[in-house]
């Protein structure tokens, strides 16, 4: 035979026991959640900090690369400026030589003729002939006044049997970057 309990107090006691157990479980769950929430927040904060550090390291790496690129570009700019300055100086010297060549006839006295004209990196050598010594000196002084030359010296001076004066002059060139007034 099976015993059947029709008394309500046992069911009520079981329900109370179930409620108490459920409340206890909810309380334990709440305590567990409350204790793990700071840990989870701390873990999330640590992950954010790790990401921030990684981002900062990448930004520092990019900054270092940009600084090195900037230094290279500044060096290239300086090199280009030097090249441009040299090119401009060379162009100015070419213009000065062109002007010299164009005005050489006006520089020479009327009765002076040139027989040789040669240029080295350091000097301009001029040879010619004339009838009077004063013409050689006038020509030498006019060359001396030209900004291309530092000093103009007479190398050779001779008179032949026909009373013609043969001469040679050496004009030292102004070195690059040095002005002459």
More reliable by pLDDT, 8 or 91: 91
The 10s digit of each residue's pLDDT in 21-59 is 999 999 998 888 888 888 888 888 999 999 999 999 999
| Mean pLDDT taken over the chain | 90
- DSSP, res 178: -
Q: Is 134 left (phi over 0), alpha (psi -120 to 50) or beta?
A: alpha
The 10s digit of each residue's pLDDT in 127-162 is 999 999 999 999 999 999 998 999 999 999 999 889
- Asked if 149 contacts 125 with a C-beta cutoff of 8 angstroms, the reply is no
- Asked if 125 contacts 168 with a C-beta cutoff of 8 angstroms, the reply is yes
Q: Return the CATH architecture of domain 108-173.
A: 2-Layer Sandwich (3.30)
- Asked if 143 contacts 164 with a C-beta cutoff of 8 angstroms, the reply is no
The 10s digit of each residue's pLDDT in 71-98 is 999 999 999 999 999 999 999 989 999 9
Greatest distance between any 2 Cα atoms in the chain: 170
Q: Going along the chain, which residue ranges are E strands?
A: 112-119, 123-130, 149-159, 165-173
**DSSP alpha helices (H): ranges in 108-173?**
133-144
């Amino acid at each position: 035979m099976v015993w059947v309990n029709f008394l309500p107090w046992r069911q009520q006691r079981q329900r109370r026991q179930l409620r108490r157990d459920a409340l206890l479980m909810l309380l334990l769950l709440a305590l567990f959640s409350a204790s793990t929430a700071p840990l989870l927040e701390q873990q999330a904060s640590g992950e954010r900090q790790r990401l921030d550090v990684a981002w900062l390291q990448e930004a520092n790496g990019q900054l270092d690369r940009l600084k090195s690129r900037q230094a290279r570009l500044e060096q290239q700019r300086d090199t280009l400026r030097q090249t441009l300055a040299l090119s401009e100086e060379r162009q100015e010297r070419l213009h000065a030589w062109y002007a010299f060549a164009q005005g050489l006839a006006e520089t020479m006295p009327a009765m002076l003729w040139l027989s040789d004209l040669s240029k080295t990196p350091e000097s301009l050598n001029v040879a010619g002939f004339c009838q009077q010594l004063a013409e050689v000196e006038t020509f030498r002084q006019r060359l001396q006044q030209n900004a291309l030359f530092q000093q103009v010296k007479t190398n050779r001076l001779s008179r032949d049997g026909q009373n013609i004066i043969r001469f040679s002059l050496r004009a030292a060139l102004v070195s690059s970057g040095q002005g002459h007034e």
